[in-house]
Structure 1
């Protein structure tokens, strides 16, 4: 019996060690950001394109109050309800963080304490952000108002409340690879906006059973996580607008049929309307280059 128990115990220890290794948090190398100075003015453009305020301002905030990133908005899903945290430059938010801490959260989904964030925060898109954009965004966010509101806990039950398991999820779904090729400067800019900063795929791409994006049906439409209707496909076979129609919609909120934007897209259009016309044209070019679907 002893001869059987010893190898069994060794196997259990080996499996446990492998599990700890596979589920570990993997922050960025802090040395990568040493000496990197951000430009707050450039960071404002990154902030707008990424829609940071849209998710992290307090519920019902309007106007200048949307720049107070106190958190509190609720985002239901089949895995539970996620509550946007305070990311203002206060001690209750990210005021005590370093640039490397910020980069680790944005691109690896790792907190300064070494725990995993839930992918309701779109770090799987931001993982391809340029280091300069991260530094610029960090510089801008440090200029915003601080707010002392504590972050509320997510409402997530077992087994999804075991954050360690997200290490395995990241092994499956966290990738720095681009979804679509881009062979012109305009398409590269459109890809960067769609796939990274504006993280369009988070809503417009279907998900598998574990919540990972099905990139084989990229931007092909998806179920609404709130359970009300369906989020439409952005592929040319479904969205038959011209590139000018798409760019104008992102600026004005009006469709070619003279309907107006609604739902969560109101905030998206509000953000894109503040970007240069070339950025809206780049997004339109990227969407027109997608497979028909």
Structure 2
């Protein structure tokens, strides 16, 4: 009996040790970090990446308009079934923001969801999409963020209860759901379609809101962009696949115009959380909006993900 108990204890300890090792934060490969650090970041190009990535939507102060959207002091609350996540200060302030980071720190955050201190970030920060970004876009975005106004506003803590406040458990979540593989397989995409896929699946992180999630926050398989319950209030986030009842009959030109102007083909206007997204999309080039539209017309149609 004593020998069996000792054996069981050894198995439990070995299992715990394996789990601890498997859930450890995994930073970006050192060689890739060095390659990113060697790039010349172009701040002008990085501004486009910032609008595509929606940085201001989560990191500008709530209600900011105009030039104030470029002061990324944080404070936007994202409600969820796990609690409230609060967008942090990512201005170049050396203490309150990310002014003390180098581009390697930034790349680890964006591509691996790992903080400079070596802990997991919550996937409310959409690194699950940003992990598809190119090295040059990472360098360019970092260069642009460093040109923005500093803010000394302290970041507010997330309001997450037990057990979701155990950061190490996010390593298990990453093992199940974190991947840089394409969300859909497109057959021989041309340059425009490839660009649209990059923007939507990568910096644009459209699926983070428009794809339904399971009980632990992972995307439901086979339901990419099919719409979801709104975690931040009543109603739903629409299905944006070609089978959507709300926009399935829109042309690619209709979609591109909506992203530019905020007006639907029926002369309705953008509303809800999509208002900020549309403002960001309006800052992109016409060719990028057309690429996004082409991709949305090419993805597989899906039934509504909230039903």
TM-score (norm 2): 0.93
**Distance between the aligned counterparts of 1:139 and 1:226, measured in 2?**
32
Partner-residue secondary structure (3-state), 1:158: coil
**Distance between the aligned counterparts of 1:46 and 1:138, measured in 2?**
10
Shift of 1:113: 0.5
Match of 1:3 in 2: 3
Is the CA contact (8 Å cut-off) linking 1:30 and 1:100 kept in structure 2? Answer: no
**Distance between the aligned counterparts of 2:243 and 2:9, measured in 1?**
57
Runs of 4+ in 1 over 3 A off after TM superposition: none
1:207 aligns with 2:219: no
Match of 2:150 in 1: 146
**Alignment counterpart, residue 88 of structure 1, candidates 84, 87, 91:** 91
Partner-residue secondary structure (3-state), 1:197: coil
Match of 1:116 in 2: 120
Shift of 1:227: 3.0
Match of 2:178 in 1: 174
Alignment of 1:34-49 (within 5 A): 34=34, 35-49=38-52
Match of 1:290 in 2: 299
**Distance between the aligned counterparts of 1:2 and 1:229, measured in 2?**
58
**Alignment counterpart, residue 262 of structure 2, candidates 250, 253, 257:** 253
**Distance between the aligned counterparts of 1:237 and 1:185, measured in 2?**
24
**Alignment counterpart, residue 69 of structure 1, candidates 66, 69, 72:** 72
**Distance between the aligned counterparts of 1:68 and 1:251, measured in 2?**
23
The superposition leaves residues 134-171 of structure 1 with CA deviations (integer Å, 9 ceiling, x where unpaired) of 00001111111111111111000010010100000000
Alignment of 1:259-278 (within 5 A): 259-278=268-287
Shift of 1:33: 3.2
**Distance between the aligned counterparts of 1:21 and 1:84, measured in 2?**
29
Q: How many residues in Structure 1 have an aligned counterpart in Structure 2?
A: 293
1:23 aligns with 2:23: yes
**Structure 2: any 5+ residue segments left out of the alignment?**
303-307
TM-score (norm 1): 0.97
Shift of 1:98: 1.4
**Structure 1: any 5+ residue segments left out of the alignment?**
none
